[in-house]
């Protein structure tokens, strides 16, 4: 009886600690979750229909501030871009691929005095185009996120192409 009560108390304590850790994340964990959700948003599974692609494009407002400053010379994109424009770019890019996988590596997060999060990560993009050509790209991405309405949104994105061997 006493052993059972101790086991239940320990289980309850572990469950409470996990709940507090999950429901009240630190700023760094919130930014990390947002960046991982962004990678999931940019990925595309095989057989994705047009309605799913449109819905995914509409979710751009969940990740980007209005306006968002872009500096992506590799993609001929620079300047201030509204989330609706980002959604159009994302929809056009998705329509050219059968599958697309976006993964983040070496994510580092620094917070400035004004509360902004500065993120640096390596982005790996793999997939196949509609013409069955393989896509395999690696880029370094630097971003600045600011908390707006309780969400961390990208305010600035800089894409640096990684040199190939």
**Model confidence at 164: pLDDT above 60:** no
Q: With 0-12 CB in 10 A as exposed, 13-18 as middle and 19+ as buried, what is 152?
A: buried
More confident residue, 63 or 25: 63
For 18-30, the pLDDT digits (tens) are 777 777 678 899 9
Number of domains in the chain: 1
Q: Is position 61 within any domain?
A: yes
The pLDDT of residue 108 is 93
Range 74-92 average pLDDT? 84
Q: Is position 5 within any domain?
A: no
More confident residue, 102 or 89: 102
Mean pLDDT (the chain, rounded): 85
User: 75 Cβ partners below 8 Å, 6+ apart?
Assistant: 159
Q: Is position 13 within any domain?
A: no
Any idea which of 18-22, 54-58, 89-93 has the lowest mean pLDDT? Answer: 18-22
Q: Is position 17 within any domain?
A: no
SS3 34: helix
Furthest-apart CA atoms within the chain: distance in Å: 69
Contact predicate 47/53, CB 8 Å: no
For 71-81, the pLDDT digits (tens) are 988 778 889 98
Which pTM was predicted? 0.78
Instruction: Identify which of 10, 12, 44, 32 has the alpha carbon closest to the alpha carbon of residue 152.
Output: 32
The token pair that represents 121 in the structure block: 């990560």
Q: Is position 115 within any domain?
A: yes
Range of the domain at 97: 26-161
CATH number of the domain that 82 lies in?
3.10.450.50
Q: Is position 21 within any domain?
A: no
The pLDDT of residue 92 is 83
Q: Is position 93 within any domain?
A: yes
The pLDDT of residue 104 is 94
Q: Is position 20 within any domain?
A: no
């Amino acid at each position: 009886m006493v052993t059972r009560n101790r086991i239940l108390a320990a289980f309850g304590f572990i469950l409470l600690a996990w709940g507090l850790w999950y429901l009240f994340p630190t700023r760094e964990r919130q930014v990390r979750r947002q960046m991982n959700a962004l990678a999931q948003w940019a990925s595309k599974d095989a057989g994705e229909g047009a309605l799913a692609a449109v819905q995914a494009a509409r979710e751009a407002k969940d990740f980007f501030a209005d306006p968002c400053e872009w500096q992506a010379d590799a993609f001929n994109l620079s300047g201030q871009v509204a989330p609706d424009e980002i959604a159009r770019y994302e929809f056009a890019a998705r329509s050219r691929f059968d599958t697309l996988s976006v993964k983040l590596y070496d994510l580092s997060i620094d917070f400035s005095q004004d509360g902004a999060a500065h993120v640096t990560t390596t982005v790996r993009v793999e997939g196949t185009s509609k013409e069955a050509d393989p896509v395999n790209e690696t880029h370094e991405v630097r971003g600045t996120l600011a908390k707006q309405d309780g969400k961390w949104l990208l305010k600035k994105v800089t894409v640096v192409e990684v040199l190939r061997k």
